[in-house]
Amino acid sequence: MKILIARLNHETNTFSPVPTPLGAFAPAYGDAAYRAAKGTRTAAAAFIDLAEAAGADIVVPVIAGANPSGRVAAEAYTHLCDTIIAAAHGCDAVMLDLHGAMVAENSDDGEGDLLRRLRAVLPHAPVAVALDLHGNITQALVDHADIAVSFKTYPHVDMYETGAHAGRLLLDMIAGRVRPVMAWRRPPLITHTLRSRTDEGAMQRAVALAREAERDGMLAVSVLAGFGLADIAAPCLSVIVVGDGDPAKADEVASRIAAQAWAERDGFAYQAEPLSSSIARAAQLADSADRADARPVLLLDHGDNCMSGGTCDNMAVLHEALAQGLTGIAVGPVCDAEAVAALVDAGVGATITLPVGDKVALPQLEVYPQSRPLTGTVAAITDGEYTITGPTYTGQRIRMGRTALLDIGAAQIVVTETPQEHWDLGIFTHIGIDPHRARFLLLKSRMYCRPVFVPIARAVVECDGEGVTSSRYERFPFRRVSRPVYPLDGNVAWAG
């Protein structure tokens, strides 16, 4: 048996100005692709482990993943898909580690179009797909995959387990132990990412129903929150059910879970408070806390989150905090390669005045920020590298590019050459900041910081700045979305 295994991963924010060329994916091919995936906590690694245990021959044409950003360049998308399709000839089965929310310059349905091409080459080969919880599912994906399973956690800590689930079903299908049939529902519901966390609220209850249905005999049940910052036909919540030979039962389960999600649709909508109110509340939390509790207050700038396509250079939250007199702030990272170069040239110990951040325009949102100067001391310069200690991407080496620490008195600002998520305390400790000693930690993050930073914090304040990942959907000029859809429209009916 010859099994094709590949990873092609991108969550596309079509409103983001951050480009997505081929280089953003850091693609690895052939033997290098196998080595890049083997031993990681990804679905692709689980596929490899299962295929090797089954004694299969493995073809790994490409392992490629890019941080969320704008539409994937047409040349990059075509090249990566061509690489997978070229390797498919002669394969007996396919296991794909995809995201589900990829949009390219030449495709509004990146995964669906890839699977359509793959099915044309391998009309009868079983195909299993592992997906992100934020995938935007289409009919093409459902039509051309035999098995589709998504993450059940957000923050995502079950990537490997999802691959293992999908891969086991594929091998059982090949062995004749199961007969997968898929059903799906997609209510007209665009969720907010901050309401897709799986440890509370409507999303937690929907995932609980999915797990219950699996215990009751369904092979796999996935609730995908979708990714709303994509101007495509339906960036909506979906339910996918993989049943065993009984399409009617699978359809009933998909319909029932989707109906509950629709009934609780208000629970998937996030109501952001004004930024000035968030900062004032954070200051009050810091001032009113038990003086014996020296832990920091987290300021989460989810309006400029790089893992949703943010530029990581919007300074609205910091400037509001400074205007309200907050001190003891550790900030980072702010992505500003131009400022890094100036800080490096000045050298450690130098006092310097320079504009930091607010240099990337958001033309689709008609936001053209003006970078304001900051005066401070260059406190440290590093190569911007550290190793994640967990729980997400444990052991992975992070490379932020050259990194400088600017101390302006009220705040210490980590400035990097590339956008970065807060996977680990190392984003601060590697440059000499002890995050435990900060009064406030200003992070450009929604969720991935939480497993690491929430345990060291006294409180969390979500701050909706002016970036391209804002939760205020009214700021975004949706033109391709099929209307009516909740919450963009008032009266939306859905019969299931």
Condensed to tens digits (0 to 9), the pLDDT of residues 385-435 reads 999 987 777 788 899 999 999 999 999 999 999 999 999 999 999 999 999
pLDDT given at position 276: 97
**Whole-prediction pTM:** 0.94
Question: What does the pLDDT average to over 234-242?
Answer: 98
What the chain holds in terms of domains, given with CATH numbers, is 2-268 (3.40.50.10350), 275-470 (no CATH)
**At 144, is the pLDDT very low, low, confident or very high (cuts 50, 70, 90)?**
very high
Q: How confident is the model at residue 487 (pLDDT cuts 50, 70, 90)?
A: very high
Side-chain-side CA neighbours of residue 136 (13 Å): 26
State percent of the chain over pLDDT 70.
99
User: In terms of Cα–Cα distance, which of 188, 170, 248 is closest to 495?
Assistant: 188
- Mean pLDDT, the chain, rounded, equals 96
- Res 157: pLDDT: 87
Q: What is the pLDDT of residues 326-382, one digit of tens each?
A: 999 999 899 999 999 999 999 999 999 999 999 999 999 999 999 999 999 999 999
Residue of higher predicted confidence among 99 and 292:
99
**pLDDT on residue 291:** 65
The yes-or-no verdict on residue 440 having pLDDT over 90 is yes
**Per-residue pLDDT at 393:** 76
At residue 289, the pLDDT reads 61
- pLDDT in the model for residue 264: 97
pLDDT exceeds 80 at position 293: no
Q: How confident is the model at residue 297 (pLDDT cuts 50, 70, 90)?
A: very high
